Amino acid sequence: MSKNYVIGFPRIGEKRELKKVLEKYWAKQTDFNEVKYVAEQLKKRHWNYQKEAKIEFISSNDFSYYDNMLDTSILLGAIPKRFENLKDEELYFAMARGNETCVAMEMTKWFNTNYHYIVPEISKETSFKLNSKKVIEEYKEARELGIKTKINLIGAITYLGLSKSVDNSDIFLHINNIVEVYKNLLLEISELDDEVIVQFDEPLFVKDLDTKVLSLIKPVYDALTKVASNIKIAVTTYFEHSNEATRVLVNTPIWALGLDFIHGNKNLESLELIKNSNKVLIAGVIDGRNIWKSNFQDKVELLNKISKIINKENIIVATSCSLLHVPFTLKYEDNLDKEIKSWLSFANEKLQELSLVSKQFFDFKLNLDEIAVIRKNVEENNQRKISSKIHNIKIQDEIKNLKTFERADKFKDRIKVQREFFNYDFLTTTTIGSFPQTPEIRENRKNYKANLISKEVYEQEIKKYIDDCVAFQDEIGLDVLVHGEPERNDMVEYFGEMLDGFAFTQNAWVQSYGSRCVKPPVIYGDVNRENPMTVEWIKYAQSKTKKVMKGMLTGPVTILNWSFVRDDIPRSEVTRQIAFAICKEVNDLQNAGIKMIQVDEAAFKEGYPLRIENMKSYAQWAVDNFKLSVSSALIDTQIHTHMCYSEFNDIIKTIEAMDADVISIETARSGNRLLRIFKDVAYKQEIGPGIYDIHSPRVPSVEEMVLQIKSLLEVLPKEQLWINPDCGLKTRKWPEVKESLINMVKAVNIIKNEE
């Protein structure tokens, strides 16, 4: 077998089996045994895929019912007090999603991906103890199937570095306690087999670390390598280079270093050091973040470059990161354009690539089939470069000749006109856009796509939903209404489907959080908008109410960040093309009388480069393109934007520079902490801090929301604040949504009456 290594494999299932069974379980339609059963089947299937592809290093403990960071909190016994009385799966899912009495733990983005992890809550009092058998059991589970796995764990430093301190105590005070737990775990692991490989994921090391964190690396890995002589430790980083950490790690007794050479090209600078330390290099060369077919020639060339410095015997060929971030398989993509499909590669296909690339690199004998695949790979890559599908000269010219890049008026002038125009006072209530995606709505869409119903019937259904949705909002007294987004399967896919240059898969799901998956479109060519995309629906919704109807669009940066993006031109250029398309839509909306328009930039932050040195240029083109996308808005057209869970600290000035009239943000899980950041920089524009968490089915009480609003008012004046939920309501059920929004409006009225 040639030496190849998969950092981690996705777990939701190629038909989203895990999602489906979890949701069934949460809806109390089945018991936990069925969840367990499905999980076992999936693990088995995924291990076998890797085995069949002749992968030598396959992981265990890359499976999770919900999230690996959450698993790690359980493993280490870091369970916040409020969950104290719960155990097993009830505890686990309460931490993830909350229950009737406990608020869920915070969730945030995993580095610059669209995966979200559950943020560990640490305080001075947190105590750690080995608290789970999952790691050991999963190893045995694989072994019973005849597969000897490496064991994936989240490294101690990354775990703590991604935690939040609930009492402002220094989280790294706990490092030794965690190392102690890991030592105990390693002892148990050492008894599993003659030799076991443990992979500690330390993606934190790709960030700009302060010296304090850097100084932890040596003691931690010195300690962990001492536990048992039959354990080989690999430390893996991904998404960027980790040169600072590498300099330290080469001086510890670890066995191997896993580095990303796709998104961390600068790792090449560390090769000399690694060579001198005689460590094994797990060289991440198969992209775990994008879906383009690898160019085998390029890959082998890259590996050859590496092996000019590092001895081949010390190289293992790997994926750049876990394959969690790409879809499972192309095998169900029957509708995809054949040519485009020939350019793609998902997790299963990447296993093949990895296997073949490593075989080529190590000069293993190839059979005839393999030689044919390699030959075809060259052809397909060449053909993609010259394909007529990807170039649209007309749109390229229009963009070259653009003259207007931002709105004509300044915020302080705009807001005066707008306040008069819309006639609102303070604490204006609204929602973020989507309302529950009901089974009927999904059925309707499915039937239409399958040609089982006519366009008329399909649209009639959607109108019916809009009627009810608008009537409900009117009735409960919300100030600014939305149409509810029933025509949208997904906030990016919907737009992509109407734009040239996008391809859609049937089944290319990627886990976003818990059971939630997204199906990112593939941007393969120049983006162009021929016709309006949302105008008819919003106009219809507006015709049903006297109140203001807010138009709803997805912003260019979010469309980019939530798509798999072509790699033949810069991302900034792709974004510019999308921005230009949105700009035309904004103009058509305002011409149709829609004067309040939200341009969601839910994923603005997640596209940020991980290294400070690269941030400025991203921020610049991201802001420029957002501004371009709303540059057609007149003075009395109010532009809203919305951002999901983000740390705003470091980018608040950038957010301000986007110059949206109103921004709604997710804050409910973090009290008024986030808002203070806006205050600290004397943020000018208006803000709608989410006052309740929509990721949980729990209905917040009026009293609770009154308190939340009051805590917001401690930070910012009422005139600057809007009141809304944290995010869209599409994942919730109508009864919860109704009750929650009724309570929200009541809460605002209570506050207003106290004035």
666 is in an annotated binding site: yes
Q: Which of 116, 174, 483, 695 is catalytic?
A: 695
d(CA 4, CA 237): 17
Please report how close the Cβ of residue 727 comes to ligand GLN at its closest, in angstroms.
5
> Could you say whether residue 644 binds ligand GLN (CB under 6 A)?
yes
> Could you say whether residue 730 binds ligand GLN (CB under 6 A)?
yes
Please report how close the Cβ of residue 598 comes to ligand GLN at its closest, in angstroms.
7
> Could you say whether residue 491 binds ligand GLN (CB under 6 A)?
yes
Residue 695 a catalytic site member: yes
For helices 68-75 and 134-144, the axis angle rounded to 10 degrees is 120
* Residue located via tokens 């939920």: 725
- Give all strands of the β-sheet with 4-5 in edge-to-edge order: 4-5, 315-319, 280-286, 256-260, 231-236, 196-201, 150-154, 59-60
Q: Provide the binding-site residues for Zn ion, judged by CB under 5 A.
A: 602, 644, 727
Name the 3-class secondary structure at 295.
coil
d(CA 696, CA 272): 50
Please report how close the Cβ of residue 437 comes to ligand GLN at its closest, in angstroms.
9
Nearest to 582 by CA among 622, 527, 630, 537: 630
Compute CA distances 715 → 467, 598, 673, 674, 711, whole Å: 37, 24, 9, 10, 7
563 is in an annotated binding site: no
Q: Which of ligand GLN, Zn ion, none does 491 bind, CB closer than 5 to 8 A by kind?
A: ligand GLN
Residue partners of 254: CB distance under 8 A and separation at least 6:
221, 225, 233, 234, 235, 279
Stretch that binds ligand GLN, among 252-260, 511-519, 616-624, 722-730 (CB under 6 A): 722-730
Compute CA distances 39 → 33, 153, 442, whole Å: 10, 19, 26
- Identified binder of ligand GLN from the candidate list 114, 158, 252, 434, rule CB under 6 A: 434
* Eight-state DSSP code of residue 246: H
How many residues form the binding site for ligand GLN (CB under 6 A)?
13
Nearest residue (CB) to Zn ion, 245 versus 602:
602
Nearest to 715 by CA among 653, 673, 752: 673
Nearest residue (CB) to ligand GLN, 4 versus 534:
534
644 is in an annotated binding site: yes
> Could you say whether residue 263 binds ligand GLN (CB under 6 A)?
no
Q: Which of Zn ion, ligand GLN, none does 8 bind, CB closer than 5 to 8 A by kind?
A: none
Stretch that binds ligand GLN, among 102-110, 207-215, 251-259, 724-732 (CB under 6 A): 724-732
d(CA 457, CA 429): 33
Residue number of the CB closest to ligand GLN reads 728
Please report how close the Cβ of residue 738 comes to Zn ion at its closest, in angstroms.
20
Nearest residue (CB) to Zn ion, 453 versus 559:
559
> Could you say whether residue 669 binds ligand GLN (CB under 6 A)?
no
Please report how close the Cβ of residue 502 comes to ligand GLN at its closest, in angstroms.
19
- List phi, psi (to 5°) of 154: -80, 130
Nearest residue (CB) to ligand GLN, 161 versus 436:
436
> Could you say whether residue 727 binds ligand GLN (CB under 6 A)?
yes
* Eight-state DSSP code of residue 12: S
Nearest to 504 by CA among 253, 350, 362, 333: 333
* Residue located via tokens 């120049």: 526
Compute CA distances 702 → 91, 277, 595, 699, 736, whole Å: 27, 62, 31, 9, 14
Pick out residues in 393-432 that bind ligand GLN (CB under 6 A): 432
Q: Which of Zn ion, ligand GLN, none does 691 bind, CB closer than 5 to 8 A by kind?
A: none
- List phi, psi (to 5°) of 560: -65, -50
428 bridge partner residues = 722
- Identified binder of ligand GLN from the candidate list 433, 436, 521, 556, rule CB under 6 A: 433
Please report how close the Cβ of residue 433 comes to ligand GLN at its closest, in angstroms.
3
Please report how close the Cβ of residue 457 comes to ligand GLN at its closest, in angstroms.
25
Please give the annotated binding residues, written as ranges. 16-19, 109, 114, 432-434, 485, 516-517, 562, 600, 606, 642, 644, 666, 727
Please give the annotated binding residues for L-homocysteine, written as ranges. 432-434, 485, 600
- Catalytically active residues are 695
Please give the annotated binding residues for Zn(2+), written as ranges. 642, 644, 666, 727
Positions touching ligand GLN (CB under 6 A) are 432-434, 485, 491, 552, 600, 602, 642, 644, 727-728, 730
